[in-house]
Amino acid sequence: MLIVSFTVSSQILNVQKSQLKKDSSSFTGSMTLSTSLYNRSAASDKKIKYFEIDFKSSFAFFIKNSRLAFINDFSYAEVNRRVIKSPGFQHIRYSMYEDGRFHPEAFIQYQYDNYRGLAPRLLGGVGFRHDLIETETFSFFYGPGVMYEYEVWQAPESKETSTKRMVKSSNYIGMHWDATESFNMNMISYFQTGYDGGAKIWRNRYSLELNMNTTISSRLTVNNSFSISHESDPVVDIIPTIYNLEVGLSYVFK
């Protein structure tokens, strides 16, 4: 069995106005890369070769009173050269007036999940974020918006594809809490909905991500994350609800 893991990270992205200075420029971000390869099997005549690679990154540029953020997430896994996981997305978001409580935003995103039949999803939209509660240790915010979405789905074990073009409402709520000097948690939840005139139904999408981080030392942090998403009416016949639970250890280079 061979397992290789490599992690590079810096400070967690923090867009609280108390951390920013007007007319100043700065950069912050984090990056994680991990890969696994093993051939563990129960019997010599039933060999299993497993390969997985995951890459996540988030970077933000603060220019005067605005923020430009890049968020990337790629995963790929196969067993005996058969793909069992292949999701990924790239998200770019621009926000203005970061020293205030209201922040106009614009965003674009490219997303795919070939194993589940999504290839690809393209979207772009505008909205605003409101920092409803903001203290030194706790923040709560929400953001309504509107977006245009284009996506192509391929039914499982079929070459037939379905294309959807829709205008949707895109909304989120989130929070960040520094409970102690060594423990913090953050959560964000999205709700997106739009009317599909062809099918004459409302297509709703829900998602939730929760992260909890415990600092062991100045360089070691235990990371726990849970995410779940649900499609009320999938375009093709797939499982509507998917979730993921991760527990990891991060080493911070300073």
Res 64: pLDDT: 82
CB neighbour list of residue 6: distance below 8 Å, 6 or more residues apart: 33, 34, 35
* Local structure of residue 179 (DSSP, 8 states): -
Distance from C-alpha of 46 to C-alpha of 65, rounded to nearest angstrom: 59
Res 204: pLDDT: 95
Predicted confidence (pLDDT) per residue in 71-119, tens digit: 898 889 998 888 888 889 999 999 998 888 899 999 999 999 988 889 8
CA–CA distances in Å: residue 121 to residues 22, 37, 91, 111, 253: 36, 30, 12, 5, 35
- Residue ranges for the chain with pLDDT beneath 70: 1-25, 40-45, 250-254
Full set of structural domains in the chain with CATH? 2-251 (2.40.160)
